[in-house]
Amino acid sequence: MSLVYRALRRCLPEGAARLALAAWYALLVFLVFLMWSHAPAAFRYLEL
Amino acid sequence: MTIVSTLFLAGMFAIVALHWAVPAMRRAEFLAVAGIASLAAIDPASAAALAAVTAFTFIALQRFGAGLRPVLVVLFALLAAFVLYRYFQEPAGLNPRGALLIGFAFYLLRAVHYAMERYKGTLPAHGWREYAAYMLYPPVLLVGPIHRFGGFLEELRNRHFARDRFSRGLERILHGYAKVVVVGNYLVSGKFAGLVADMEPGAAREYLECVEYGLNLYFQFAGYSDVAVGFSLLLGVRIEENFDRPFLRRNIGQFWRAWHMSLSSWCRDYVFMPVAALTRRPYFAMLTSMAVLGVWHELSWRYLAWGLYHGAGIVAWQMWRQHFDSRLPAVPGRGVTGRIHEFLAILLTVNFVVLGFAITKEPDLPGAIRAYRTLFFGG
Q: B102 to chain A: which residues are within 8 Å by CB? A: 46
Would B329 be classed as within a structural domain? yes
The closest CB to that of A46, out of B2, B174, B178, belongs to: B2
* B354 and B304 fall within a common domain: yes
Average pLDDT, chain B: 92
Lowest mean pLDDT among A32-41, B125-134, B182-191, B233-242: A32-41
CB contact under 8 A, A45 and B224: yes
Give the residue from B220, B245, B302 with the most A CB atoms within 10 Å of its CB, the best one to mutate: B220
Does B83 map to a domain?
yes
Cross-chain Cβ contact A2/B171 below 8 Å: yes
Same domain membership, residue B146 and residue B10: yes
Distance from A42 to chain B by nearest Cα, in Å?
9
The answer to whether the beta carbons of residues B60 and B120 sit under 8 Å apart is: no
Using 50, 70 and 90 to split pLDDT, how confident is the model at B89? Answer: confident
For every residue of B209-232, DSSP letters joined together read HHHHHHHHHHHHHHHHHHHHHHHH
Out of B179, B203, B234, a domain closes at B234
Q: Give the range of the structural domain holding residue B193, as residue numbers without chain letter.
A: 163-234
One domain for residues B128 and B84 = yes
Q: CB B178 to CB A31 under 8 A? A: yes
Answer yes or no: is B239 within a domain: no
In a domain? residue B183? yes
Q: Mutate which of B46, B88, B185 to test chain A, going by most A C-beta atoms within 10 A?
A: B185
**Do A32 and B168 count as a contact with CB atoms less than 8 A apart?**
no
- Is the dihedral angle over the CA atoms B239, A42, B219, B175 positive or is it negative? negative
pLDDT of residue B233 exceeding 90, the answer is yes
The Cα B222–Cα B228 span in angstroms is 10
Task: Looking at the complex, report in whole angstroms how far the Cα of residue B190 sits from the nearest Cα belonging to chain A.
Answer: 8
Residue B230 in any domain: the answer is: yes
A-B C-beta contacts closer than 8 Å: 76
Residue A15 confidence class, pLDDT cut points 50, 70, 90: very high
B193 pLDDT more than 70: yes
- Same domain flag for B87 and B196: no
The ipTM value here is 0.92
Average the pLDDT over B258-284 and give the result: 96
Q: What is the pTM of this model?
A: 0.93
Range name among B232-236, B241-245, B268-272, B296-300 with the lowest pLDDT average: B296-300
Tell me the H-state helices in B178-260: 193-197, 203-234, 252-256
Can the peptide bond before residue B145 be classed as cis, meaning omega within 30 degrees of 0? yes
Q: Do B87 and B112 sit in the same domain of this protein?
A: yes
Q: What digits encode the pLDDT tens for the residues B302-347?
A: 999 999 999 999 999 999 988 887 777 676 667 888 889 899 999 9
Task: Check whether residue B281 and residue B321 sit in a common domain.
Answer: yes
Kindly state whether A31 is in contact with chain B, defined as any CB-CB distance less than 8 angstroms: yes
**Residue B152 shares a structural domain with residue B170:** no
pLDDT interval class at B77 (50, 70, 90): very high
Average pLDDT over residues B348-364: 95
Residues B304, B182, single domain; the answer is: no
Q: Looking at the structure, do residues B144 and B189 belong to the same domain, yes or no? A: no
Q: What is the mean pLDDT of residues A6-34?
A: 93
* Domain layout of chain A by residue ranges: 3-47
Contact A35 B186 (CB under 8 A): yes
Q: Using the beta-carbon criterion (under 8 Å), do A43 and B224 form an inter-chain contact?
A: yes
**How many domains are contained in chain B?**
3
Give the number of C-alpha atoms closer than 13 A to the C-alpha of residue B12, restricted to the C-beta side. Answer: 23
* Domain identity same for B37 and B135: yes
Whether residues B300 and B320 share a domain: the answer is yes
Tell me if B186 and A32 make a contact (CB, 8 A cut-off).
no
Are A48 and B186 an interchain contact pair (Cβ–Cβ within 8 Å)? no
Q: What is the pLDDT of residues B92-121, one digit of tens each?
A: 444 555 567 888 899 999 999 999 999 999
Q: Does residue B177 sit in the same domain as residue B250?
A: no
Chain B touched by A4 (CB under 8 Å): yes
8 A C-beta contact, residue B108 and residue B53: yes
B185:A1 CB<8 A: no
Report long-range pairs for B317-324 (Cβ below 8 Å, ≥24 apart).
B317/B251, B317/B252, B317/B253, B318/B253, B318/B282, B318/B283, B318/B286, B319/B283
B167 and A4: CB-CB below 8 Å? Answer: no
Q: Is the pLDDT assigned to residue B25 strictly greater than 60?
A: yes
Q: Is A11 on the interface with B (CB under 8 A)?
A: no
Residue among B2, B89, B143 minimizing CB distance to A40: B2
